[in-house]
Amino acid sequence: MSLFSNHTTVDIDNPSSSLPTAQSRWQRNISSYPNHKPRHTKIPPWLINTASLIVMALLVLLSLSIGVADFSWSGIFHSLINHSANSDSSLMLVSRLPRTIAIILTGIAMAVAGMIIQVVLKNRFVEPSMVGATQSAALGLLVVSLFFPASALIIKMGVATIAAVFGMMLFMLLIHRIPPTDFLMIPLIGIVFGGIIDAITTFIAYQTETLQMLSVWQFGDFSSVLAGRYELLWFTGVLCIIAYIIADKLTIIGLGDNIALNLGISKRHVTWIGVGMVAMMSAVVVVTVGMIPFIGLIVPNIVSRIMGDKLRRSLPAVALLGASAVLLCDIIGRSIRYPFEIPVATVFGVVGTVIFLWLLLRAPAES
């Protein structure tokens, strides 16, 4: 081993070159919350929020009018005037509207969950699927479906939530010793950790011949959303409101342990509330539509680059942008090979990875 251990790091050849300063500068920009000055203070938040609200409204209209079944807005208009149901309005109420609402709620939930976990772990490069939350939720869901197939949806969701909390606890134990300066190590470990949980889940599913059931949860997809099959997602809306209420406390946790102590915030309590909320949001999304990777990573990163990390100010923008992003990707997935449909998780897998790679690779250029 002796020969190799000399070369475990690549930078051994130039130990004291420009690297340290470059890295710390990059870190100051990205992962340090104290004294964080947003770079574009000129645009007021209300303007950004109004603009993204308009974008979202346009996307909603587009999302409502795209689909395989024949549909016309004038039909809706007629049924509204006559107070009578026709095929257009029932299509709207049973399929199109539930689907669009589900997409909006999922986007909001995943983006806000990503923002919370990034603040709690003080790391810009994590999201619920990179701390083992979504994978653990799927594992818990699989186990409860195997042992108690007839149990109510709310019980399945509860078990998935508990599993997600356990998965995140295990992850936090794993990264306990990682120095906070090594901020890219945490997502790396998270990806491998998620892969290990995935492998265990696949193992169980293979043995019990439930791989097909599992693949429904592993690929986020809105094609099966109809009225009566998505309402659980409203719960994530409630969680987002709670997140907004405790936003200031979460922000203070993100500022660092000493500051939290000085300001009289119990770091432990708020951290656990944050972890629990992320677990619940991930579990609800996995139970109803399946995993959608990278939203929780991309959206908070973009928003905090523009607006900074004060959650009370940035959470509405995160929620709006998250909803718009998923709406856009779902519209792309539905129209790229019309009349067939591509799962939103696949579309986001491509779009999200490209943006994430850009975030990762463009970092050195800043310094």
Partner 1 sequence: MHSHSASTTADIDIPQLSSSTKPSRLWSVIAQHPKFIATIILLISAILFLTVNVHGHWDFALPLRGKKLLALMVVGYAIGVSTLLFQTLTHNPILTPSLLGFDSLYVLLQSLLVFFLGAISFTSLNLIAKFSLEIVLMFGASLLLFKLLFSKSSQDLTRLILVGVIFGVLFRSLSALIARLINPDDFVVVQSASYAQFNTVNPQLLGISLFICVVSALFIWRWRFKCDVLMLGKAQAINLGINYQRLAFGLLTVIAVLVATATALVGPVTFFGLLVCALTNRMARNMYHSERLILVSLVAMICLVLGQTVFEQVLGMAGLLSVVIELAGGLVFLALIFMSQRR
Q: How far is the CB of 1 from partner 1 (least distance, A)?
A: 6
Q: How far is the CB of 240 from partner 1 (least distance, A)?
A: 27
Q: How far is the CB of 51 from partner 1 (least distance, A)?
A: 29
For residue 222, the tally of other CB atoms under 10 A from its CB is 25
Q: How far is the CB of 297 from partner 1 (least distance, A)?
A: 10
68 vs 357, beta carbon nearer partner 1: 357
28 vs 267, beta carbon nearer partner 1: 28
Q: How far is the CB of 196 from partner 1 (least distance, A)?
A: 4
278 vs 347, beta carbon nearer partner 1: 347
125 vs 235, beta carbon nearer partner 1: 125
Half-sphere exposure of 282 (CA within 13 A, CB side): 42
23 vs 271, beta carbon nearer partner 1: 23
Q: How far is the CB of 350 from partner 1 (least distance, A)?
A: 5
Could you write out the three-class secondary structure of the chain?
A: CHHHHCCCCHHHHCCCCCHHHHHHHHHHHHCCCCCCCCCCCCCCHHHHHHHHHHHHHHHHHHHHHCCCCCCCHHHHHHHHHHCCCCHHHHHHHHHHHHHHHHHHHHHHHHHHHHHHHHHHHCCCCCCHHHCCHHHHHHHHHHHHHHHCCCCCHHHHHHHHHHHHHHHHHHHHHHHHHCCCCCCCHHHHHHHHHHHHHHHHHHHHHHHCCCHHHHHHHHCCCCCCCCCCCCHHHHHHHHHHHHHHHCHHHHHHHHHCHHHHHHCCCCHHHHHHHHHHHHHHHHHHHHHHCCCCCCHHHHHHHHHHHHHCCCHHHHHHHHHHHHHHHHHHHHHHHHHCCCCCCCCHHHHHHHHHHHHHHHHHHCHHHHC
Q: Are residues 26 and 364 in contact, defined by beta-carbon separation less than 8 angstroms?
A: yes
Binding site for partner 1 (CB under 8 A): 1-14, 17, 19, 23, 125, 174, 177-178, 182, 184-185, 187-189, 191-193, 195-196, 199-200, 202-203, 206-207, 293, 336-337, 340, 342-343, 346-347, 349-350, 353-354, 356-357, 360-361, 363-364
49 vs 353, beta carbon nearer partner 1: 353
Name the residue with tokens 């195997």.
146
277 vs 292, beta carbon nearer partner 1: 292
Q: How far is the CB of 270 from partner 1 (least distance, A)?
A: 28
Q: How far is the CB of 337 from partner 1 (least distance, A)?
A: 6
138 vs 319, beta carbon nearer partner 1: 138
